[in-house]
Structure 1
Amino acid sequence: MTATTVSYRLTQYVHGGGCACKIPAGDLEDMLGGLTPWTSADLLVGLETGDDAAVVRIADGQAVVSTTDFFTAVVDDAYDFGRIAAANALSDIYAMGARPLVALNLVGWPRDVRPLELLREVLRGGMDIGREAEVHVAGGQSIDDPEPKYGMAVTGLADPDRLLRNDAARPGLPLSLTKPLGVGVLNNRHKATGEVFAAAIDSMTRLNRAAAEAAVAAGIRAATDVTGFGLLGHGYKMARASGVTFRIDAAAVPYLDGAREALAAGYVSGGTRRNLAWVQPHTDAGVGEDELLLLADAQTSGGLLVVGEIPGAPVIGEVVAAGDHPLVVR
């Protein structure tokens, strides 16, 4: 039998799936504090605000945008895992208002435990997303690893005067969200039970290209993508960097079918609980813990949180002048 005729559950070989396996945001900030890299005036976006990608000004009114993102298997199907991880890596480029140009694969694979034919399916998924995005997938790096991991390092180009940044939110503007939440609890249920949630896979493999292009065309200046730190975590980072408060209308936030049921059944990842613990001291919450857990749900390849309105994206709140808390949830 080949790898394609044998059923392998990739999620059973990892300790945590997708963006839920990230090191907690608070731990990262503590660890990075005091580290000072070399820099110059050409670095337009660096470590300071925890934005989605680095941006460096180059000649002819252009800027290079660079990012990397990889994680452990988030679904059992190898091809879908490749597509999800690639779409997630490209999302950081779109979240800056940039156009991705080239991607390099990042692979960790238990070569003595899982067949290389299965890895081929992961890479095929990544290449198909690259083809859809019209991005060159041109090599990469692989290591022998106890857990299946995949992602990409991506380079793109942007107009330095039309970047989408997480420190550019201004009071008086609406907050829009371009994908529904809930993939975290659904992925956790998938890992525990083997149930497949097609809507979650469709959401995670959908590129944020159209949303980013619409935001740039509308003159929007502030956005971020919602991934491992959840809507509340990424919203908090954005509000803090911009010196404003995000007021979120919990009832307006869209969710994938089955997300609330998965929450009620207890399929909440440790990453989601760490997200909520990190943001709660900075949040004025008028909703219960279950609602907050969904808002802090660790997303993988989530949508864009945009300061402004774009077609098809529901408005979930507004930006107001800085108050006692960077986040207000009602």
Structure 2
Amino acid sequence: MEFKHVSILLAESVDFLITDKNGIYVDCTMGGAGHSSGFAAQLEPGGLLLGIDQDDDAIAAASERLLHRFVCRTAVAKANFKDFAQVLDGMGIDKIDGIFFDLGVSSYQLDCAERGFSYMHDGPLDMRMNREAKLDAAYVVNNYKEEELAEIIHKYGEERWSKRIAQFIAAARKEKPLTTTFELVEVIKKAIPKGARLDGPHPAKRTFQAIRIEVNNELGILADTMEQAVDRLKSGGRIGVITFHSLEDRIIKQTFARLAKGCICPPQLPVCVCGKKPLLKKTGSIVPAAAEVEDNPRSRSARLRYAIKL
């Protein structure tokens, strides 16, 4: 299956991020190199675009599309985006001009049944972005305690029927382990009352999101990674992050706000004693235009959050 992915908010991301055509830029979630190619196309021979991804399929596709195709220097590295600083250290790079994150799952991963991300395609319960990782969706579904499942589905999926879904999963797996996406979908459909299934998104959407987040620790690494990213930026350097659901968006928004504020002293203190200075200026966000949403419905929930380092 060809690695296809439509890059969301592409023009907006390129316009914001690239300020020095001979600068160093990092795309920490390279995927099929859609955004990476857009960044690289703006750079001159002195510039460098580094693309990072943990998915072998993405690495293969992006290497073809990115390496040796632009006038600037390009490089590709396999790593989880939380480890981008180690990649930079290995290349002898200290400060960078811009860093970019496109969070969530790619269209390719969703459409590739064997990856097990989608409730729309039957495949093994996998959901690993890094296929060398030990934890997969089958283990979560079949081995987590019922209470743990309920908590994950509620916390990461914001699913009102989380306890009931966990109960039905626990009952079903006593008969036999759940091994495919469609087996899990059927259990979820039985768990959610018929009336509640008539409105809103696919009944399995929130549960699948929750399990995917758990498998890949998507939220647990965000705040620390954003702080590291800002630390590696030059003065005036830029950070852009595309989010797709309220949980990750809230973390990015709050982290940027904290780094832009600086001082963390209690409000009752008359003067600052913590000594923390603001690191960011001009934070904001952009959502896709109506035309982009019409062309690509998956962009509907996307939001580009951005900031500039002081």
Query: TM class, shorter-chain normalised?
Result: under 0.3
Question: Which has the higher Rg, Structure 1 or Structure 2?
Answer: 2
- Which protein is richer in strand relative to its size? 1
- Which protein is richer in helix relative to its size? 2
**TM-score normalized with structure 1 length:** 0.22
RCO (CA 8 Å, sep 6+): is it higher in 1 or 2? 1
